[in-house]
Homo-oligomer: A and B are copies of this chain.
Amino acid sequence: MAIIVQKFGGSSLADAPCIGRCAQRAVRAFQEGRQVIVVVSAMGDTTDQLSELAVQVTDRPSQREMDMLLATGEQVSIALMTMALHRLGADAVSMTGRQIGLLTDQVHTKARIRSIDTSRLRRELDAGRIVVVAGFQGISDEGQITTLGRGGSDTTAVAIAAALGIAENNGACEIYTDVDGVYTADPRRVANARKLARITYEEMLELASLGASVMHSRAVVFGQKYGVPIHVRHSAKPDPGTMIVKETPDMEDIAVVGCALTPDLGRISVRGIPNKPGIQALIFGNLSDAAILVDDIMQTEAGDTASISFTVEHQDLAEVKPAVQKSLDEIGCGEMSIEVGLAKVSAVGVGMRTHTGVAAAMFSALGQAGIHINNITTSEIKISCIVPKEHGDRALQVVHDAFDLDQTNESFAKDHSQHTAKRPT
């Protein structure tokens, strides 16, 4: 019998009526003849409330005790979800991370999954029960309660799907959230953005790193590693969402699947530092110690000295300055300059690997729109342009239009595929 794993996030479990609606989803899947596992997060903003309690007690809470504390949020959810399923007449049983034998390493607050003992899960499923599993939590082999960090419940769901081999069994892993799925661009910024029926793991990861926070990257990486098809969909709507899947040959027909905007960036440039090994490690080590997420990094060199520049979210700028100054003090030379008012527009698609002309088309569209390109960075499946902040939203729309992302037809790809055409970029 096919197994379906349904994960419901905190916003889908805000109160008792919400929990009831999610329970109905699970019962429907069960009545359609599938074995059902429900993975839940903590209700609403429970995790924030618990963290706030810890802060009231101490400013440096032990990580083991944070896990002990936060794991209660999901335990509350499994009990209530199971009660809601009972109310609908379903046979259901709740299980903690320990009870499903979700074994992790001992790194509290960001533990990594080592294994899942599927025997207990299968026993309950085979007894005709809907199994309600606490996401986000596990146990170390010392019997300590651990948690998986941000996006942990998504990861739990995908890991269970992988452990049960649902891909080989016509099963599914459904991530229910408060958005319809993955769009060609953020629909709040681009009016004619279109919901994608499917996207590859890699494309999803590139988009997630650009701020499309539909699903946590870690769970996508897990899905990619074990080939678990993930269906991202809205918890309150019946329509299908977006399938995150392995790349198949036909997916290369589309050069660009989506685009994204990072709306407010600053760029820090460090000049006149020695062009020798270890300098980069020192600078970015200090930034990492200050917990600053660095975006794109560029380095140029001129003889004995080098220049490094990188972008960060505008809100992090205040903390960047002292961290970089610390590096310069340690190096004993060099100077820092800061540029604000930047944005980054990116186009993403696995088809780029086989299509030429994608970069040229993007630059050309931005140029025709009179938008200055400040800088360019690329990965195998992504092209990013730094543009002035005030043109950010327009740049996103221009790129969206340039690749006809509001249309399901593959006009650009057909014109530019290396397989079919040979004209220069």
A19 in contact (CB, < 8 A): yes
A149 in contact (CB, < 8 A): no
A66 in contact (CB, < 8 A): yes
Chain B residues whose C-beta falls within 8 Å of the C-beta of A56 in the assembled complex: 15-16
Chain B residues whose C-beta falls within 8 Å of the C-beta of A82 in the assembled complex: 62, 65, 68
A187 in contact (CB, < 8 A): no
Chain B residues whose C-beta falls within 8 Å of the C-beta of A86 in the assembled complex: 58, 60-62, 65
- The answer on a CB contact under 8 Å between A53 and B94 is no
- The answer on a CB contact under 8 Å between A57 and B69 is no
Chain B residues whose C-beta falls within 8 Å of the C-beta of A19 in the assembled complex: 57
- The answer on a CB contact under 8 Å between A83 and B99 is no
Q: 8 Å CB contacts to B: which residues of A34-90?
A: 50, 53-54, 56-58, 60-62, 64-66, 68-69, 71-72, 75-76, 78-80, 82-84, 86-87
Q: With contacts A19-B57, A143-B99 known, is A80 near B69, CB below 8 A?
A: yes
A20 in contact (CB, < 8 A): yes
The residue in A16, A66, A68, A71 that gathers the most chain B C-beta atoms within 10 A of its C-beta is A68
Chain B residues whose C-beta falls within 8 Å of the C-beta of A98 in the assembled complex: 98
Q: With contacts A16-B57, A53-B16, A57-B19 known, is A75 near B71, CB below 8 A?
A: yes
Chain B residues whose C-beta falls within 8 Å of the C-beta of A72 in the assembled complex: 72, 75-76
Chain B residues whose C-beta falls within 8 Å of the C-beta of A69 in the assembled complex: 75-76, 79-80
CB distance from A25 to the nearest CB of B (A): 15
Chain B residues whose C-beta falls within 8 Å of the C-beta of A68 in the assembled complex: 75, 78-79, 82, 94, 96
CB distance from A269 to the nearest CB of B (A): 42
Contact digits for A141-172, partner B, Cβ 8 Å, 1 yes 0 no: 00101000000000000000000000000000
- The answer on a CB contact under 8 Å between A57 and B87 is yes
**Contact among B20, B53, B71 for A80, CB-based, below 8 A:** B53
**Contact among B54, B87, B145 for A58, CB-based, below 8 A:** B87
CB distance from A315 to the nearest CB of B (A): 29
Q: With contacts A19-B57, A53-B16, A57-B16 known, is A83 near B65, CB below 8 A?
A: yes
Contact digits for A241-281, partner B, Cβ 8 Å, 1 yes 0 no: 00000000000000000000000000000000000000000
Query: From A82, which residue of chain B is reached at the shortest CB distance?
Result: B65
- The answer on a CB contact under 8 Å between B83 and A57 is yes
Chain B residues whose C-beta falls within 8 Å of the C-beta of A78 in the assembled complex: 68
In the bound complex, what is the Cα–Cα distance between A61 and B250 (angstroms)? Answer: 50
Q: With contacts A56-B15, A56-B16, A76-B50 known, is A65 near B87, CB below 8 A?
A: no
Sample of 5 further A-B pairs with CB below 8 A, known A16-B56, A58-B83, A65-B82: A50-B76, A54-B80, A64-B94, A68-B82, A68-B96
Sample 13 A-B pairs with CB under 8 A, ordered by A number: A50-B76, A54-B80, A58-B86, A58-B87, A62-B82, A65-B94, A66-B79, A68-B94, A68-B96, A69-B79, A69-B80, A71-B75, A72-B76
Shortest 6 CB-CB contacts between residues of A and residues of B: A69-B79, A16-B56, A72-B72, A68-B79, A58-B87, A65-B79
Chain A positions near chain B (C-beta within 8 angstroms): 15-16, 19-20, 50, 53-54, 56-58, 60-62, 64-66, 68-69, 71-72, 75-76, 78-80, 82-84, 86-87, 93-94, 96, 98-99, 143, 145
